[in-house]
Chain A
Amino acid sequence: MKKRSFGIKLSLFVITIVLVTAILTLLNWLPSLVQKRTMKRFNSIDIAQKELRLHRLFLPTYIPEDLHLVWPPDEIYAQEVPFSAFIMHLRYRDSRDIGLVIQQTDANAPYQIEPLIKVKTKTEGSQIFIKDRKALLVPASCDENTPCNEVSWNEDGTIITLICKCSAQEIVKIASSTLPGP
């Protein structure tokens, strides 16, 4: 029997790998046909709101200019199954790093979604008030030891969490701007 050259064998191997990759991609996509409301990336907040019929979204109306964060968010994720969640990642204008994470999840969720920014807390934090809501402000270090702050509170059954590589005053101002009223 005539032996194949190494080039032909290599080509066949590449074809088989492409085939395996295609099958895995297809298998990964198939569940989305059955279950449409699991975690998904959206191109805009409007599309996410329409597709998942999200009732209340807490969007910041103020982001300090000197933080150089880009609005609208670079990444938007949302889900309704197994529980309601909405996540926004805001990147810096001059780098690909994420500077602000805003997450809102169902307070009754069996587990909390781990934020993309890795947070190392230094203290248990302090209780503050954001427009009359009791909130927890925690100073921390994020990713590669960048100083950051985390603030979270329960807004009528929705846990809102902001993690920002910025000062405590700045994160509180951003958090306040997500809520209606003066």
Chain B
Amino acid sequence: MIMRFLSSYPGMYITQSVLHSFVALIIVELSFFAWDIRDHSAKFRYRLLTLTLPVFMFPLYQVITPQRSAWYFRLNTALFDSQRWLDLNPLGIFPLAAVFLTLLIAVTAVFVVQEVLPIFRERSSRSDPGTCEGTRDTLDAMLDSISSEMPIAKPSICIIDEPLPILVTQGFKDHMIIVSSHLIEVLDEDQLKGALTHEAVHIMRDSNTKTQLIYLLRILMFYNPVSLVEFRRVVHDDEFICDAITVSITKNPAALIAAISSFYYHPDQGPQGLYQMKERIESHSHNLLLDERIQRLRETGLEVQEHFAWAPFMLTASVILVMGYLVV
């Protein structure tokens, strides 16, 4: 029954999109080495290939070559035929197709628990989303100066009374920067300017819209383990890009480093439950990203961003498409 499903068009789409993602991931990661790509702005675009192309590859190939999924193509033309592996039953207990399907179900479960349930939980618990405590003239003046240096409309600002460091940008057209009172207290003027400039760069890059579109791709590939990892990496890349642009505007990497440092989070050492473990893992991964961002800022400082080379990018995309065609 499992093999029959995996041999159907939906089954082949699922199997091949996962394989195409893996192939794209490997080619993209090797491209970083081959093309000597260290700039996160370039990495962001390359990683988008891993997320976007596998969504369309199978239907595109089927239109070009309808016999691509038939045995003759698999045997004579394909570089890799997934059915050869999925048919195997090495221990005689259950075929590898069952193991593969179990993996996809596990990834789907992770997607639901990690990315779908929190949205509903947040919606139901957010009784009063806009508890702005007002604004401050210094912040307003700072935003005036920041937005005059960038091609953006001045965003509104909202200060919330929170004992945690919070700084987020909301909205797609009319943006609002939400900042916690704690952050205003702990950061000096330069640091706060760095942090607000970083948010303004997100507005300039339209990060919220981009993230939503990328998230849509992530939803389409909810079962795909590669999308699970790559989605996060793309979002992280966006932070690195915004850091680099911020420093190129403020010319003060030290202030941004100090601002980023204030976001380290260490949960209380309480009881050893599942929830606490989840929180510790999440805070660890959050702190690791902050470490990486600080490290990157220390390494590059005021270094000018590399010019994006389209030829290697197009070549890499073409190789992914050709390889994908030969992976069935």
Task: Tell me the A residues contacting B by CB distance below 8 Å.
Answer: 3-4, 9, 12-13, 15-17, 19-21, 24-25, 27-28, 31-32, 34-35, 38-41, 77, 82, 110, 113-114, 116, 118
**Contact yes or no, B84 A31, CB < 8 A:** yes
Within 8 Å by CB of B75, from A12, A13, A15, A39, lies A39
Asked if B56 is at the interface (CB within 8 A of a chain A CB), the reply is no
B33 touches A12 (CB 8 A): yes
Check if B79 sits within 8 Å of A28, measured CB to CB.
yes
Let me know if B26 is at the binding interface, CB within 8 A. yes
CB distance from B139 to the nearest CB of A (A): 40
Task: Determine the distance from Cα of A76 to Cα of B262 in the docked complex, in whole angstroms.
Answer: 70
- Docked-complex contact B327 and A24, CB < 8 angstroms: yes
Whether A28 and B88, one on each chain, are in contact in the complex, defined by CB atoms closer than 8 angstroms, is no
Q: Once the chains are docked, how many angstroms separate the CA of A113 from the CA of B78?
A: 18
CB contact under 8 A between A20 and B323, given known A28-B81, A38-B84, A113-B71? yes
- Give the residue name and chain of the B residue nearest to A29 (CB): B84
Given contacts A12-B33, A39-B75, A41-B75, contact A17 B27 (CB under 8 A): yes
Contacts of A12 in B (CB 8 A): 33-35
B11: min CB distance to chain A, Å: 14
Interface size classification for chain B: 20 to 34
Q: How far is B83's CA from A34's CA once the two chains are assembled, in angstroms?
A: 14
**Bound-complex Cα distance A16 to B312 (A):** 13
B87 within 8 Å of A by Cβ? yes
Asked if A20 and B76 sit within 8 Å, CB to CB, the answer is no
Q: A9-B312, A13-B312, A114-B70 are in contact. List 4 more A-B contacts (CB 8 A).
A: A20-B27, A28-B79, A35-B84, A38-B87
Task: Check B34 against A16 for contact (C-beta < 8 Å).
Answer: yes
Which of B72, B85, B326, B327 is most buried by chain A, counting CB atoms within 10 A of its CB? B72
Residues from chain B with Cβ under 8 Å of A20 in the complex: 23, 26-27, 30, 323
Residues of chain B within 8 A (CB-CB) of A28 are 78-81, 84
Docked Cα-Cα span, A34 to B35, in Å, equals 38
Q: B68: shortest Cβ distance to chain A, in Å?
A: 12
Cα of A116 to Cα of B72 in the assembled complex, Å: 7
Rounded to whole Å, the gap between the CB of B271 and the closest CB of chain A is 46
Query: Which residues of chain A have C-beta atoms less than 8 A from B10's C-beta?
Result: none
Q: B36 an interface residue at 8 Å Cβ cutoff?
A: yes
- What chain A residues lie within 8 Å of B80 (beta carbons)? 24-25, 27-28
- Expressed in whole angstroms, the Cα–Cα distance for A19 and B31 within the complex equals 12
Residue of B nearest to A114 (CB): B70
A28 to B88, CA, bound (A): 12
Contact with B35, one of A9, A25, A32 (Cβ below 8 angstroms):
A9
Given contacts A13-B312, A16-B33, contact A32 B27 (CB under 8 A): no
